[in-house]
Structure formats: structure tokens, C-alpha cells
Amino acid sequence: MTINTDFINDQSISEILSKHSKPDTAKVQEVLVKAREMKGLSLEDVAVLTGMSDPLQMKELFDTANFIKDTIYGKRLVVFAPLYITNLCANECTYCAFRAKNKAIVRRALNQEEIKHETQALIKQGHKRVLLVAGESYPKQGFQYVLDSVRSVYEASYEGAEIRRVNVNVAPLTVDEFKLLKAEKIGTYQIFQETYHRETYKKVHIGGKKMDYDWRVTAPHRAMEAGIDDIGIGVLFGLYDYRFELLALMQHIRELERAFGVGPHTISVPRLEPATGSDLASQPPFPVNDLEFRRIVAILRCAVPYTGIIMSTRETQQMRRDTFALGVSQISAGSRTNPGGYEEDDEISGQFSLGDHRPMDEVIRDVALMGYIPSFCTGCYRLGRTGQDFMDLAKPGAIKAHCGPNALSSFMEYLNNYASPETYKVGVDLVERTIAELEGLPAERARKLVDRVNKGQTDVFC
Ligand code: SAM
Ligand code: SF4
């Protein structure tokens, strides 16, 4: 099936942006009031929020995003770890250390035994969710290598514990390949367009299959056609004007909603980070400063309230703290971006520099001290609450009655089995305080689930 890619329409984006480049106070207020209804925003509304500049209005935007985050997600933050299986790549993305011609890194594709070892290292830290990541060149088995790798992650275990959800970030596939990936029971298929601006896309992708913009922008269509319900999309901020990218992201979301009745499950917001052997990565053509970055997160929270926002390990501790409050709902912790990095670290051969080097236990303690509940829950995926089913449940707010208690029970399981004594103490205080603040059904459910975990049960959720 050929898909028309006109849904990303540069001209209409430019027109909408210039129409709202200096919105008046009343217009901004109108959009923020609408955002608080939590039904999402139009492209024009998003343009208004990118056009305003008054510091007081910016504060109101942040307050609105915080209100939405608290109402829908409460204090929970889903935690995952990336697992890089190979840094072999046939593409030439000028911002990435893995690009084919970069001689400065050591190339490695993990074999299945090594993947199991890496997975065990993550299980030992307490992880339950893994994002499997690969360059676009597989060892001689070809795409079967990715399928085998997903299976290896699910098969690995350590002292009876296992990874419960494997999400995947690999190059665009055909519908048939996506069907095979779905058969391996992946959670989310994730793919970032990097930049939606065609001219910039062409400039930064100078070799390999990734040069084909249309093949990449239609990957979510093919994945959904193959029956993968949960799709993650994203932009690599720093390559082009973030205002344009936000509107294009909205056009992509609307297109998926039009074609499949449901938009993406998550949006990722990576910022360009320095990468070995890449000048572009150290000098982004459109750098996004910290305030703009917070604004991006806040605007997305208002625009698509029920879509998860993923913040990676690329951001510093301080930036993570600031953006949790604005709408981030998933974070990575204790990450390494070089294949084999959990057993032996070699940052030079990683994909980019990491802003946050702290071990998982420290990240978890820090998150808990801020009052956020690290969630290791995989309940929705296990119960088949994905895609439209997840959105149907999420929209009326009912998800809170599931996610809140499940976050607490999965966090308690982490505390009992993996936390240092210091983190355990901080965590248990938080769990008990949180249950005491709950009322009705969520309170009842949380108490029961946490008690079951404390009696030694694992993997309990509702
Ligand atoms: N090779 C596949 C692809 O390009 O889609 C999947 C894996 S690639 C390693 C995952 C993502 O890393 C890319 O989509 C890109 O957004 C991000 N990335 C690459 N270089 C980066 C850099 N210098 N800083 C931050 N993120 C980067
Ligand atoms: Fe390869 Fe992906 Fe890096 Fe591009 S971003 S060089 S495709 S690993």
C-alpha cells in the first residue's frame, strides 16, 4: 500500500506559525482554559503556545501542564532501561556516533548469550521494562537477529525474576516484518522521525536507507497495519526549529488518528547530545535551550494529555526534576548506550553522551524523594489494554484506579528485592504516605496489592 505523505504539510505549518507568532493575552488565556479541559489542542492552539513570549504566560503554561500531569498521571513515573544490542549501522546520520563511516568507535553486535547476560544485569538492578535499540545493520541472520534478540530478553531470568515488557526502537520495517515483531510480543514499537522538515532531513541523512523520509514517516502506519497497537514517535530536537517540529508532530498524530482511530502511545523528546565523531551533534543547528525544552514538554502535555511523554537518560538530573512536574510520564534510569555496556562500560563507543550517570538505585531514591512513585508496572500490556482499549480506559480517568495501585505494588516489589537500605526507607515512607492519601476504590486496591507483595508475592496488578 502506498501512503500519501502529504499529511506533513510544510506550507500549512508555516502559515499557522506566522498567524500566531505574537498572540495577545486573551488568545493565550483561551487556549490554556481549553487545555485544562484535557481534551487536547488543535494545531492552531499549539501555534499560540509556541508564539507567546510573556514570562507570566509561560508560568501559566507550566502551571496548566502541571495540573494536567497531576490529574491524569498523579505522581507516578514509569521506569525503563534501553538495551543496545548492536552499534553496526549502514546509515550516515551526521549526528550519530553509530553512522557507518565513523571510525572512532568500536563496533559490536551482541550475540544471544551476551544479550541474555546484559538482560540479567538489568534484572539484577530491578528493571522490568526494556527498550531494545539497534543500528540499521544486523549480523548475518538479518532481521531475524532482532526477533531472536527480543526472545532472548524475554527468556533471560535472574533468581526467578524476568523482564516483563520489551519495547523496540529499530529502523522502519515492512508490514510483514512488523507482523513477526508483534508475534514476539513486543510492547511499543518506537521510531523517531528526527526532523519532520524535509530539507533538513535530507541534509543530515546523507547515506543509507534512512535517506528515505517517506519510508520512515510511514513506519507507524505499517506497524499499526500489522496490528502493533502501541506506537512511540518523537523528534530529535536541535536539528530544526522546534516550533515547526511540534506542529508537524501534531500533523503526524492527527494522521494516525484519522487512519487508525488512535494516536501514538508515547512521544519521546530527545535533545541532540554530543556524540563521538560528530561535529553536528556538538553544535546543533537549532539548539533548544533549557527553558524552550521545558516549554516543549508543557505544550505536548496540554496538546495530547493522554499520550505518555518519555524523557531519556540524555537529560541531566536537574532537567529531569523540572520536567517531571510538567508532564513527563516515563524515564530511563541507569542507562548505557553502548552494546554490552551493562557488563562493561565504554562510553566512547556509546551512541551519545549521557547527562545522567547515576546508578539505578540512586535515580529511584531521588525520584522518590521528590514525591514521585517509580512504577515498574506492565499490567496494561499483560491484560491486553493497548491501543484504543488503553485510550478508552485512560480518557475518563479510570486508568488512575488501576495505574495508581499498580505503581505502588510494583514499586514495593522493587523496594523489597532490589533497593539499598537507604532507598528502601525513603520508598516505604512514600508508599505508606501515598496510600494514606488515597480514598475509595484506589485506596482499597493499593492496600491489598501492597500487602500481597509484602507477603512475598510478585507481579501483582489489577
Ligand atoms: N537505528 C535506528 C534509527 O535510527 O531509527 C534506531 C536506533 S537509533 C540508535 C535511536 C535514536 O537515537 C535515533 O532515532 C535518534 O533520535 C537518537 N540519536 C542519534 N544520535 C543522537 C545524538 N547525538 N543525541 C541524541 N539522540 C541521538
Ligand atoms: Fe544508524 Fe540510527 Fe544512528 Fe542513524 S541514528 S546512524 S540509523 S543508529
Residue 159 lies in a domain: yes
Closest CA to 339 of 120, 135, 184, 144: 135
Does ligand 1 come within 6 angstroms of the Cβ of 47?
no
Domain total in the chain: 3
Q: Compute CA distances 349 → 105, 197, 221, whole Å.
A: 5, 29, 33
Q: Which atom of ligand 1 is nearest to the CA of 191?
A: 5
| Cα–Cα separations (whole angstroms), residue 277 to 61, 97, 103 | 38, 6, 8
Assess contact for 38 and 71: CB atoms under 8 A: yes
**pLDDT bracket for residue 408 (50, 70, 90):** very high
Let me know the angle formed at the C-alpha of 99 by 97 and 104, rounded to the nearest 5 degrees: 50
Indicate the pLDDT class of residue 398, thresholds 50, 70 and 90.
low
Other C-beta atoms closer than 10 Å to the C-beta of 266 total 19
Q: Is residue 417 part of a domain?
A: yes
Per-residue confidence (pLDDT) for residue 342, from 0 to 100 = 85
Query: 252 in a domain, yes or no?
Result: yes
| Domain assignment present for 244 | yes
Same domain, 65 and 82: no
- Do 50 and 139 have their domain in common? no
Helix (H) or strand (E) holding 131: strand 129-134
The CA 401 to ligand 1 mean position distance, Å, reads: 35
| pLDDT 10s digits, 327-382 | 999 998 878 888 988 876 555 566 656 556 678 999 999 999 999 999 998 877 67
Which of 231, 212, 211 minimizes the C-alpha distance to 223?
231
Q: Which three cell numbers stand for residue 32?
A: 490554556
Q: At what angle do helices 399-417 and 440-454 cross, to 10 degrees?
A: 20
Beta-carbon contacts of residue 307 (< 8 Å; ≥ 6 apart): 253, 263, 264, 265, 266, 267, 300
For 418-447, what is the mean pLDDT?
94
Ligand 2 lined by 135 (C-beta under 6 Å):
yes
Work out the pLDDT band at 2, boundaries 50, 70, 90. Answer: confident
Q: Are residues 268 and 353 in the same domain?
A: yes
pTM confidence score: 0.94
State the distance from the centre of ligand 1 to the C-alpha of 163, rounded, in angstroms.
Answer: 23
Q: Which of 414, 399, 403 is nearest to 446 (CA)?
A: 403
The whole-angstrom separation of Cα 415 and Cα 387 is 30
Q: What was the pLDDT predicted at 64?
A: 98
User: Of the given ranges (182-196, 308-322, 379-393, 439-453), which has the lowest mean pLDDT?
Assistant: 379-393
Closest ligand 1 atom to residue 172 Cα is 5
pLDDT of residue 87: 95
**Ligand 2 centroid, distance to 394 Cα (angstroms):** 34
Q: Which residue has the cell 526507607?
A: 425
Q: What is the CA radius of gyration of the chain?
A: 21
Domain of 327, CATH number, reads 3.20.20.70
Shared domain for 151 and 252, answered yes or no, is yes
Average pLDDT of the chain, as a whole number: 92
Is 338 found in the same domain as 287? yes
Rounded Cα distance between 27 and 244, Å, is: 20
Same domain, 293 and 432: no
**pLDDT level of residue 394 (50, 70, 90 thresholds):** low
Residues 31 and 82 grouped into a single domain? no
Question: Quick one: 83 and 51 in the same domain?
Answer: no
Per-residue pLDDT, 395 = 60
Which cell is 197 given?
A: 522538515
Do residue 58 and residue 178 come from a single domain? no
Which position has the grid cell 481549553?
Answer: 34
CB 423 within 8 A of CB 368: yes
- Is 372 within the bounds of a domain? no
Indicate if 92 and 59 belong to the same structural domain: no
In a domain, 459, yes or no: no
pLDDT band, residue 322 (cuts 50/70/90): confident
Residue 44 has pLDDT above 80, yes or no: yes
Q: Residue 193's pLDDT band (boundaries 50, 70, 90)?
A: very high
Q: Is 352 part of any domain?
A: yes
Question: With a 6 A CB cut-off, is 215 part of the ligand 1 pocket?
Answer: no
On whether residue 373 sits in a domain, the answer given is no
And the C-alpha cell for 308? Answer: 505518555
Protein residue closest via CA to atom 19 of ligand 1: 96
> CA-to-CA distance for 254 and 141, rounded, in angstroms?
37
Statement to judge: residues 88 and 225 lie in one domain: yes
pLDDT given for residue 357 in this prediction: 67
Last residue of a domain, one of 36, 70, 104: 70
User: What domain range includes position 278?
Assistant: 76-307+323-357
| Residues 404, 264 share a domain | no
Task: Please provide residue 208's backbone torsions phi and psi, each rounded to the nearest 5 degrees.
Answer: 90, 180
Cα–Cα dist 412/435, whole Å: 12
3-state helix/strand/coil string of 137-187: CCCCCCCHHHHHHHHHHHHCEECCEECCEEEEECCCCCHHHHHHHHHCCCC
Cα 112 to averaged position of ligand 2 atoms, centre (Å): 22
Please report which confidence band the pLDDT of residue 314 belongs to, taking 50, 70 and 90 as the band edges.
low
